Amino acid sequence: MTALTITGATLPDGTRRDLHVDAGVFVESAPAGAARIDADGLQALPGLVDLHTHLREPGFEASETVLTGTQAAAAGGFTAVFAMANTFPVQDTAGVVEQVASLGAQHGYATVRPIGAVTVGLAGERLAEIGAMARSRAAVRVFSDDGKCVSDPLLMRRALEYVATFGGVVAQHAQEPRLTEGAQMNEGELSSELGLAGWPGVAEEAIIARDVLLAEQLRARLHICHVSTAGSVEVLRWAKGRGIDVTAEVTPHHLLLTEQRAASYDARYKVNPPLRTQEDVDAVRAALADGTIDIVATDHAPHPIETKEAAWAEASFGMVGLESALSVVQSAMVETGLLDWADVARVLSAAPAAIGRLDGYDAPFAIGSPAHLTLVDTAARRTFGTGDLHGRSINSPYLGAELPGRVVATVHGGVPTALDGELRPAEEVANGQAA
Ligand SMILES: [Zn+2]
């Protein structure tokens, strides 16, 4: 079994100490002969947890697989990912979610917690086998039709009622479908100028307003995916003020980029929900800082290059994000003084784990806790390139951009998955070997 001694790491609270790992957990002192990682000058963070990843397997292995997606995760400092249900077959049965979870366990780069579909085939017509997925070996606790909105209010109500019986949560992709038919980018002056169909903020805000009211009435737990507008923040602030059990996420790209990127017609910037205005970016940053938005989630959405090099209107929606997420958060939130590293640890690890009912992340670095951590060189600057991407797709909006920070090492359950800024070999990770 793996034993590690990590020397001189700076913890999220700013203290500096050595960390010892044995048999997958933090211990007082590691046995003689433990592998040594020099973390002098590095920031230690708890293993990052992504509540919103598209791993694409089964069905779309040309874009990503459980192996390549979790390698991308490890390279980005993540030790757990929640895998969205829009695979083929859809993750709407116990069999499919168990398959995805066990592929993750087999490879070992990160814990894979499958998200179950809310409706059969994501078709929005009848509820999927939510109970069977919850009781399965995958123990699903998060349910989402992400990519599509559960727009039927009666189905949404039933789903919220059902998951409340076992402490689950519905993660809503808030997009009123009638208001966004054919929509291509944020609705406003710029969309008119560019001749691209507009995607109004109210399409997101109206669904969030409806669903927080349903959650209140049913005393159910609701999570809102990828909040993108100032109006959504206002609705969430109101709901939380009333004590409604709602949580929300923002993506790194909605914290950093604006709709102005669409002026290039470069479809790397085409994403769902669309990039919004500077005013919206300022609002979601402030909301993450004051807790109205609880977490950052990547919405890592790999697509083959040909579907992103197409004309804007034909191109796919989505960006990869696992390898750039921490750097973007550093740039948008830490270097602006809105969050410190203890806050980053919360919004990228403890809070997403709590929302997803993922054990082992509530007492980071404590003796006896699972050894999930990442070491970051926060002083580094890098020009982000395809060499930084480890998944099967390269549809990143940051290629060629200078980003702060660099993940030096990631440790998942005591097993190093990345070291010296490089992924460790798949065989050694799968076997749980020390460095
Ligand atoms: Zn979505």
375 closest CA partner among 125, 79, 90, 152: 79
d(Cα 104, Cα 109) in Å, to the nearest integer?
7
What pLDDT, on the 0 to 100 scale, is given for residue 26? 98
Tell me the pLDDT band of 433, cut-offs 50, 70 and 90: confident
d(Cα 235, Cα 217) in Å, to the nearest integer?
16
What pLDDT, on the 0 to 100 scale, is given for residue 89? 98
Name beta bridge partners: 27: 20
* Residues constituting the chain: 435
Q: Is 92 a catalytic residue?
A: no
Angstrom CA distances, 8 to 11, 47, 345, stand at: 9, 18, 18
CA 303, 137, 392: angle at the middle one, nearest 5? Answer: 15
Q: Which tokens sit at 213?
A: 């009211």
Give the number of other Cβ atoms within 10 Å of residue 420's Cβ. 10
Give the distance (Å) from ligand 1 centre to CA of residue 231. 18
Give the distance (Å) from ligand 1 centre to CA of residue 148. 7
Task: Find the mean pLDDT for residues 259-270.
Answer: 96
What pLDDT, on the 0 to 100 scale, is given for residue 134? 98
The set of residues, in sequence order, having a beta carbon less than 8 Å from that of 341 and lying 6+ positions away, is 12, 14, 43, 45, 334, 378
Give the distance (Å) from ligand 1 centre to CA of residue 228. 11
Q: Which tokens sit at 16?
A: 């500096």
Give the distance (Å) from ligand 1 centre to CA of residue 300. 10
pLDDT above 90 as % of the chain? 97
Q: Are 193 and 278 in contact (CB under 8 A)?
A: no
97 closest CA partner among 107, 87, 108: 87
Which of 22, 50, 280, 299 is catalytic? The answer is 299
Q: What is the pLDDT of residues 29-69, one digit of tens each?
A: 988 999 999 999 999 999 999 999 999 999 999 999 999 99
pLDDT above 70 as % of the chain? 99
Using DSSP's 3-state secondary structure scheme, residue 180 falls into helix
Task: Find the mean pLDDT for residues 6-27.
Answer: 97
- Residue 9, H or E segment: strand 3-10
pLDDT at residue 435 above 80? Answer: no
Q: What is the pLDDT of residues 172-208, one digit of tens each?
A: 999 999 999 999 999 999 999 999 999 999 999 999 9
Give the distance (Å) from ligand 1 centre to CA of residue 43. 31
Q: Are 233 and 227 in contact (CB under 8 A)?
A: yes
Looking up tokens 């479908």 gives 177
Give the distance (Å) from ligand 1 centre to CA of residue 225. 6
What pLDDT, on the 0 to 100 scale, is given for residue 366? 97
User: CA Rg, the chain, in Å?
Assistant: 20
Give the distance (Å) from ligand 1 centre to CA of residue 171. 9
d(Cα 292, Cα 230) in Å, to the nearest integer?
11
**Single-letter amino acid code for the residue at 202:** V
What pLDDT, on the 0 to 100 scale, is given for residue 303? 96
Tell me the pLDDT band of 434, cut-offs 50, 70 and 90: low
pTM, to two decimals? 0.98
Q: Which tokens sit at 94?
A: 């116990």
Give the distance (Å) from ligand 1 centre to CA of residue 141. 18
Q: Considering the chain, what is the average pLDDT of its residues?
A: 97
The set of residues, in sequence order, having a beta carbon less than 8 Å from that of 54 and lying 6+ positions away, is 64, 69, 83, 84, 86, 299, 300, 301, 302, 318
Q: What is the pLDDT of residues 312-352, one digit of tens each?
A: 999 999 999 999 999 999 999 999 999 999 999 999 999 99
Give the distance (Å) from ligand 1 centre to CA of residue 114. 15
Give the distance (Å) from ligand 1 centre to CA of residue 172. 8
Tell me the pLDDT band of 90, cut-offs 50, 70 and 90: very high
Give the distance (Å) from ligand 1 centre to CA of residue 430. 31
Looking up tokens 């933090």 gives 26
Q: What is the pLDDT of residues 245-260, one digit of tens each?
A: 999 999 999 999 999 9
Distance of CA 133 to the CA centre of its chain: 21
Give the distance (Å) from ligand 1 centre to CA of residue 226. 7
Give the distance (Å) from ligand 1 centre to CA of residue 321. 14
Tell me the pLDDT band of 1, cut-offs 50, 70 and 90: low
Q: What is the pLDDT of residues 121-177, one digit of tens each?
A: 999 999 999 999 999 999 999 999 999 999 999 999 999 999 999 999 999 999 999
